[in-house]
Amino acid sequence: MIISYSVPDKCPVCGHELLVNRLSCTYCATKIEGEFSTCKFCRLPAEQREFIEVFIKCRGSIKEVERELGISYPTVRSRLDSVIAALGHRVVDRGEGETVQARDILDALEEGKISAAEAARRLKKGDS
Q: What CA–CA distance (Å, rounded) separates 7 from 3? A: 13
**Cβ(82)–Cβ(76) below 8 Å:** no
* Backbone region of residue 44 per phi and psi (left: phi > 0; alpha: psi in -120 to 50; beta: other values): beta
**Cβ(57)–Cβ(67) below 8 Å:** no
Residue 69 reports pLDDT greater than 90? yes
Give the residue-averaged pLDDT of 99-116. 79
Q: What is the pLDDT of residue 76?
A: 93
**Cβ(36)–Cβ(19) below 8 Å:** yes
Q: What is the pTM of this model?
A: 0.58
For the stretch 9-49, pLDDT in tens is 788 899 888 888 899 998 999 999 998 887 888 888 889 99
